[in-house]
């Protein structure tokens, strides 16, 4: 599993925690984190919201792990 944060626009908090919905291939983790750093989403954010679908073509989604208004 990989956990990180994504920037959020128009929110009281500048970042939302995210994680992979299943174990991620070890050899692709560095590339995944580089992609996650590029992402900015708009509030509101709902827990369980898909932030990145099919990350790096693995079929694994990146999910928000917190609500933000």
> Which CATH homologous superfamily contains domain 3-64?
CPE0013-like (3.10.530.10)
User: Strand, coil or helix: what is 5?
Assistant: strand
Domain ranges across the chain: 3-64
The beta-strand segments (E) located in the chain are: 3-9, 15-20, 40-42, 50-52, 62-64
Q: CB–CB of 41/63 below 8 Å?
A: no
Q: What is the pLDDT of residues 7-31, one digit of tens each?
A: 999 999 999 999 999 999 999 999 9
Q: What is the pLDDT of residue 24?
A: 97
Q: What is the pLDDT of residue 69?
A: 87
pTM: 0.90
Q: What is the pLDDT of residues 30-69, one digit of tens each?
A: 999 999 999 999 999 999 999 999 999 999 999 999 999 8
């Amino acid at each position: 599993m990989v956990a990180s944060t994504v920037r959020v626009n128009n929110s009281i908090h500048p970042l939302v925690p995210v994680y992979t919905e299943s174990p991620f291939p070890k050899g692709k983790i560095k590339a995944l984190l580089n992609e996650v750093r590029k992402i900015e989403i708009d509030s509101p954010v709902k827990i369980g919201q898909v932030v990145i679908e099919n990350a790096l073509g693995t079929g694994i989604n990146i999910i928000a792990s917190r609500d933000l208004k």
